[in-house]
Structure 1
Amino acid sequence: MTTTENLSAQIFKPQYDYPETSALINRVDSSDGSSISPLDGEIDSKWYRIINPFLWIWRGLPKLEVEELLSRIAASTKHHTNEKWLDTVIGYQSGNWVYEFLNQAALWQSKADSIGQENLSDEDKTNLHNYFLIASEYSSIASYPHFKNDELAMYAQTCAYQAYMKALSYSPFTVKELEFKVENRSVKTFLHLPKTDNTCPIVLICNALGSLQIDYYRYFKEYLAPRGFAMLTVDLPTVGYSRNFALTQNSSQIHQAILEQLSSVPWVDNSRVILAGFRFGSHLATRLAYLMPNKIKGLFNFTPFVHQIFVDKDLQKNLPTSYKDMLASRLGLPSISNLQLAAELNYFSLKNQGLLTHGCPVPVMNIIFEEDILSNLNEVKLIRSIKQNKLVTIPKTPLQKSLHDALTQSVNWMESVL
């Protein structure tokens, strides 16, 4: 990713010749599907994107500000690609999704820039850290759903990483930007270290499909770091710092290369590695646990996808439009039909790949969410450990407490297997 100057100085002026995100994938079949979990966001036929204010606020964004921003988009009378979707204003202008979220990011960047850089107090450093994190998160959401051929989204991603790196420079924790070789290329990652002088166990994050690697800071700060765990984040293929890698049925290619090279990282104990897979990322994590058990001490999956979503045609048909478009984008498909999507996804099933026919060689913890259509008990039963199986089902209300309890239990379990 190219380095940019100050975000507030770089925000584009209104321009109207950029293709709008919802128009980038040609859909052969229409869909108003709703097969998704409340963890993924709110399904509303008035929006193209899946709106997830709960998760955005959990990551640190101000609640009232998010609501006001969404209201501005919803109230826009500008020309839309599709008049039934509120978030499809054409061109980089007020009412456009990327424009509104990036401008909100710029406000927080400006707030940070207004703090003098000399004789910084602890309070100043804390504020700078938080302001840049908020700017980073707004920019990340501006890029969502992170289509590779979306020029404005790619710019937003660059802004998100720039703000994140500034936030890390004021973090109470040490964070290293590391590059790992993947075949004849390299990929950038972030290693987040707890406050310790010793080498520490490490959690390798396998992202959800709609996330960037910079979206997991709160998990590290509040759950992993206090228990002495390091966290290594890496983007999924086709996204962020991994945008030049294709997503194929060998989905764990990048993470496999990283595991092979962890012994060269001096701050962590490469003999104590836990994989953490979130939603689609559990496909990568589970695949790694079967392929490289000698490198891994445990597998933690948060609402895993390993088989059903890849083979159930009715479930696929009932996915929200933007989710199917996101899958098509990740797979490098400029147009998509239900039949084509079904054919492509079939190869991703770990059961069809022959990996789930025997027990997983490492301890496994799976967390599933009550009434989650995409990740249920049948899915979890396919991931059987020959050493230890732990299953936690979390209620859908109250959602904030359920998420907190689930993440707390994940770290308790990680400690127990180490």
Structure 2
Amino acid sequence: MATTENLTAQIFKPQFDYPETSTLINRIDSSDGSSISALDGEIDSRWYRIINPILWHWRGLPKLEAEAVLSKIAASTRHHTNDNWLDTVVGYQSGNWIYEFLNQAAIWQAKAESIDKTNLTNEDKNNLLNYYLIASEFSSIASYPHFKNDELAMYAQTCAYQAYTKALSFSPLLIKELEFKVDNRSVKAILHLPKTEKVCPVVLICNALGNLQIDYYRYFSEFLAPHGFAMLTVDLPTVGYSRNFALTQNSSQIHQAILEQLSSVPWVDDHRVFVAGFRFGSHIATRLAYLMPNKIKGLFNFTPFVHQIFVDNELQKNLPNSYKDMLASRLALPSISNQQLAAELKYFSLKNQGLLTHTCHVPVMNIIFEDDKLSNLCEAKLIHSIKQNKVVTVSKKQLQKSLHQAFTQSVKWMESIL
């Protein structure tokens, strides 16, 4: 991704000639957005985007600040592209989603910049790490849902990656930016390393549909690193550092290329590789486990998407508008109807691709959430290993606590496999 000096100062000038995010995909059909789970956020017909303050808070955002930004957006009297949706203020100005979240990111970046960088104490370094991480997360949410043809969102992504890079320079843990070759092109990944002089087992993260690769630092720092695991992140096709790659039914193209080249990375043990799929990313992770079992020690899926969402037309129809738009954007479809979406998605079913018709040769752990309409026990049981099948169901109540329990169990399981 391109970087620009003083990008933050440049972007905060109000401009009015940018198309508003919700208008970028031409929706032929609409929906009431009933098919989703608490993991994806709150369903509220007053918003185009899916609002997820619980997960944002888990990722490190101050809860009251995130709510305050939403309040500014909701209170705006500026012109909206759709009066039914609060987050559709036209132009880069107050009340616009990207504008308000980037403004909040700038406040935290300014806090970090105000710290004297000479003779830094450990407390200073910790503050710089946290301030830049918060700035990065606010910028990431500004970019959400990360449409490729959303110019303002691309600026927000650049801000997010710049802040993340600055944050990691103050982390007590070691971070490496790596480049891998994929079909004669390069893709940038980020390797996060624990404190050790030994080569580490590594977890390759396969992102959820609405995430950037920089959204997983907490999973690494609190759960993986203390147990000696490295974490390797890479963006989904069409998003972030992978935005020049298309998302096709061969969703694991980038990740397969990375696994093939992992032996050249000196800090990790390429014989102890786990793949972790989050939501839509489980499609990628599961493909990898079936196609490259000799490269993978174990498969961990956090609420797997491998079949149902790709073939259930009624489920697809009832997805929130922004979720359908996100799928359309990833598939490079500027216009989408329910019928078109169904026709495209059916090829993504790993059952239709013939993978789930035979057993997987690596141990598998699936975590599912209670009352999740997009991922359930039937979905998890489609992935069958000849070595180990572990399914954990966690409660939708006290989501923060449930997330902590789920991630703790994932690490314990990976340790047991090793």
Q: Same-fold call, TM > 0.5?
A: yes
2:34 counterpart of 1:28: no
Deviation at 1:328, TM superposition (A): 0.1
User: Structure 2 regions of 5+ residues with no counterpart?
Assistant: none
- Matches of residues 46-195 of structure 1 in structure 2 within 5 Å? 46-195=46-195
What is the distance in 2 between the residues matched to 1:217 and 1:41? 20
| Paired AA for residue 88 in structure 1 | T
Q: Answer whether contact 2:11 2:155 (CA < 8 A) is retained.
A: no
Q: Residue deviations 1:189-233, cap 9 Å, x none?
A: 000000000000000000000000000000000000000000000
Residue pair 1:4, 1:10 contacting (<8 A) in 2 also: no
Aligned letter for 1:24?
L
Cα deviation code 1:111-133 (max 9, x no counterpart): 00000111111111111110000
> Helix, strand or coil: the match of 1:180?
strand
d(CA) in 2 for partners of 1:69 and 1:7? 21
CA separation in 2, counterparts of 1:374 and 1:8? 37
| 1:301 Cα deviation after fit | 0.2
Q: Distance in 1 between matches of 2:128 and 2:400?
A: 26
Q: Aligned letter for 2:116?
A: G
Tell me the secondary structure at the aligned position of residue 236 of structure 1.
Answer: coil
Q: CA deviation at 1:181?
A: 0.2
Partner of 2:346: 346
Distance in 2, Cα, partners of 1:9 & 1:116: 20
Aligned letter for 1:89? Answer: V
Superposed displacement of residue 4, structure 1: 2.1
Residue 12 of structure 2 contacts residue 103 of structure 2 at CA under 8 Å; is this kept in 1? no
Q: Indicate conservation of the 8 Å contact 2:8/2:159, yes or no.
A: no
Q: 1:80, 1:360 → 2: CA distance?
A: 50
Deviates more, 1:36-45 or 1:5-14: 5-14
Letter in 1 for 2:243: R
SS of the residue corresponding to residue 347 of structure 1 reads helix
TM-score under structure 1 normalisation?
Answer: 0.99
Query: Is the 1:277–1:302 Cα contact (8 Å) retained in structure 2?
Result: yes
**1:358 corresponding residue in structure 2:** 358
1:297 paired to 2:283: no
The letter of the residue matching 2:249 is Q
Which residue pairs with 1:414 in the alignment? Answer: 414
Residue by residue over 1:286-335, the C-alpha shift from the partner in whole angstroms, topping out at 9 and shown as x without a partner, is 00000000000000000000000000000000000000000000000000
Whether contact under 8 Å (1:199, 1:266) holds in the other structure is yes
CA distance in 2, matches of 1:8, 1:209: 26
Q: Is the 8 A contact 1:7 1:109 kept in 2?
A: no
Q: Take 2:262 and 2:392, find their aligned partners in 1: how far apart are those partners?
A: 30
**What are the superposed Cα offsets for residues 10-47 of structure 1, whole Å, 9 maximum, x if unpaired?**
33310111000000000111212220010110010000
**Counterpart-to-counterpart distance in 2, 1:185 and 1:374:** 34
| Alpha-carbon distance in structure 2 between the residues aligned to 1:5 and 1:55 | 31
Separation of aligned partners in 1, 2:227 and 2:383: 27
Partner Cα distance (1:255, 1:360) in 2: 18
Q: Which amino acid in structure 1 is aligned with residue 185 of structure 2?
A: R
Structure 2 residue aligned with 1:15:
15
Q: Deviations over 1:82-126 (max 9, x none)?
A: 000000000000000000000100000000000011111111111
In the alignment, the residues of structure 2 paired with residue 220 and residue 354 of structure 1 have an alpha-carbon distance, to the nearest angstrom, of 33
Partner in structure 2 of residue 39 of structure 1: 39
SS across alignment from 1:87: coil
- In structure 2, the partner of 1:251 is 251
Q: Which runs of 4+ in 1 moved over 4 A?
A: none
* Alignment check: 8 A CA contact 1:94 1:100 kept: yes
Q: TM-score, normalised by structure 2?
A: 0.99
Gaps of 5+ in 1: none
The alignment partner of 2:340 has SS state of: helix
C-alpha distance in 1 between matches for 2:76 and 2:335: 28
Q: Partner letter of residue 109 of structure 1? A: Q
Distance in 2 (alpha carbons) for counterparts of 1:277 and 1:7: 33
Distance 2:103 2:5 in 1: 15
**Alpha carbons 1:8, 1:110 under 8 Å: kept:** no
> How many residues matched?
418
CA RMSD of aligned residues (A): 0.6
CA deviation vs aligned residue, 1:357-376 (integer Å, no higher than 9, x gap) = 01111000000000001000
Question: What is the identity, as a one-letter code, of the residue corresponding to 2:411?
Answer: V
Q: Percent identity?
A: 83
Asked if the contact 1:301–1:366 (Cα under 8 Å) also holds between the matched residues in 2, the reply is yes
Structure 2 CA distance, aligned partners of 1:354 and 1:8? 48
Distance across 2 between alignment mates of 1:235 and 1:294: 23
Amino acid at match of 1:41: G
The equivalences for 1:384-403 within 5 A come to: 384-403=384-403
CA–CA distance in structure 1, aligned partners of residues 43 and 402 of structure 2: 20
Q: Could you tell which deviates more after superposition, 38-47 or 116-125?
A: 116-125
Shift of 1:7: 4.7
Amino acid at match of 2:363: P
Question: What letter is aligned with 2:181?
Answer: K
1:224 and 1:318 map into 2 onto residues whose CA distance is 36
SS in 1 for 2:175: strand
SS, match of residue 47 in structure 1: coil
SS in structure 2 at match of 1:249: coil
**Secondary structure of 1:49's aligned partner:** coil
